Structure 1
Amino acid sequence: METSSEGVAEDAGAPAGAVAATAAVPRPVVAIAPASLSPSRAGDFMQCPLLYRFRVIDRLPEKPSEAATRGTLVHAVLERLFDAPAGERTAPRAKALVPGQWERLLADRPEVGELFADDPAGERLAGWLTEAERLVERWFTLEDPSRLEPAERELFVETELDSGLRLRGIIDRVDVAPTGEVRIVDYKTGKAPRPEYAEGALFQMKFYALVVWRLKRVVPRRLQLVYLGSGDVLTYDPVPADLERVERKLLALWEAIRRATETGDWRPRPTKLCGWCDHQAHCPEFGGTPPPYPLPLATVPDQARGGQDAQGTMGPD
Structure 2
Amino acid sequence: MVCGRGRGFRPGTPVFAHRRRGGLSVPGRKVVGMETSTEDVEPSATAEGVAAGPRERAAELPVVATAIPPASLSPSRASDFMQCPLLYRFRVIDRLPEKPSEAATRGTLVHAVLERLFDAPAAERTAPRAKSLIPGQWDRLRESRPEIRELFADDPEGERLAGWLAEAERLVERWFTLEDPTRLEPAERELFVEAELDSGLRLRGIIDRVDVAPTGEVRIVDYKTGKAPRPEYAEGALFQMKFYALVVWRLKNVVPRRLQLVYLGSGEVLTYDPVLADLERVERKLLALWEAIRTATESGDWRPRPTKLCGWCDHQAHCPEFGGTPPPYPLPVRAPEAQPGAQGRMGPD
1:11 to 31, 48, 51: 48
Bigger radius of gyration among the two: 2
The equivalent residue for 2:189 is 153
Q: Residues 120-199 of structure 1: matches in 2 within 5 Å?
A: 120-199=156-235
1:205-227 CA distances to partner (integer Å, 9 max, x unpaired)?
Answer: 00000000000000000000000
User: 1:5 Cα deviation (Å)?
Assistant: 7.3
The equivalent residue for 2:236 is 200
2:297 to 261, 267, 292: 261
Q: Does 1:283 align with 2:327?
A: no
Structure 2 counterpart SS, 1:301: coil
Please report the TM-score for the alignment, with normalisation by the length of structure 2: 0.82
The equivalent residue for 1:305 is 340
Q: Does 1:314 align with 2:314?
A: no
- In 2, Cα distance between equivalents of 1:186 and 1:218: 19
The equivalent residue for 1:237 is 273
Query: Does the 8 Å contact 2:68/2:297 carry over to 1?
Result: no
Superposition misfits of 4+ residues, deviation over 3 angstroms: 1-7
User: 1:12 Cα deviation (Å)?
Assistant: 1.3
Query: Does the 8 Å contact 1:32/1:57 carry over to 2?
Result: no
- In 2, Cα distance between equivalents of 1:60 and 1:145: 39
The equivalent residue for 2:3 is none
The equivalent residue for 1:98 is 134
User: 1:162 Cα deviation (Å)?
Assistant: 1.0
The equivalent residue for 1:292 is 328
Query: Does the 8 Å contact 2:245/2:279 carry over to 1?
Result: yes
- In 2, Cα distance between equivalents of 1:105 and 1:278: 22
The equivalent residue for 2:76 is 40
1:215-262 CA distances to partner (integer Å, 9 max, x unpaired)?
Answer: 000000000000000000000000000000000000000000000000
Task: Mark the CA change 1:76 to 1:4 in structure 2 (over 3 Å): closer, same or farther.
Answer: closer
Q: Residues 206-245 of structure 1: matches in 2 within 5 Å?
A: 206-245=242-281
- In 2, Cα distance between equivalents of 1:300 and 1:50: 18
- Percent identity reads 86
Structure 2 counterpart SS, 1:155: strand
The equivalent residue for 2:63 is none
Higher relative contact order (CA 8 A, sep 6+): 2
Q: Which amino acid aligns with 1:202?
A: L
Structure 1 counterpart SS, 2:73: coil
- In 1, Cα distance between equivalents of 2:336 and 2:68: 21
User: 1:7 Cα deviation (Å)?
Assistant: 3.3
1:94-137 CA distances to partner (integer Å, 9 max, x unpaired)?
Answer: 00000110000001001101000000011100100000000000
Structure 2 counterpart SS, 1:305: coil
Structure 2 counterpart SS, 1:143: coil
Structure 1's unaligned 5+ residue stretches are: 15-30
1:57 to 93, 105, 119: 93
More helix by share: 1
Structure 1 counterpart SS, 2:177: coil
Structure 2 counterpart SS, 1:257: helix
1:178-218 CA distances to partner (integer Å, 9 max, x unpaired)?
Answer: 11000000000000000000000000000000000000000
Q: Residues 108-123 of structure 1: matches in 2 within 5 Å?
A: 108-123=144-159
Query: Does the 8 Å contact 2:227/2:265 carry over to 1?
Result: yes
Task: Mark the CA change 1:5 to 1:241 in structure 2 (over 3 Å): closer, same or farther.
Answer: closer
1:127-179 CA distances to partner (integer Å, 9 max, x unpaired)?
Answer: 00000000000000000000000000000000001111000000000001111
Structure 1 counterpart SS, 2:331: coil
Q: Aligned residues, how many? A: 297
User: 1:8 Cα deviation (Å)?
Assistant: 1.7
Q: Which amino acid aligns with 1:108?
A: S
Query: Does the 8 Å contact 1:182/1:222 carry over to 2?
Result: yes
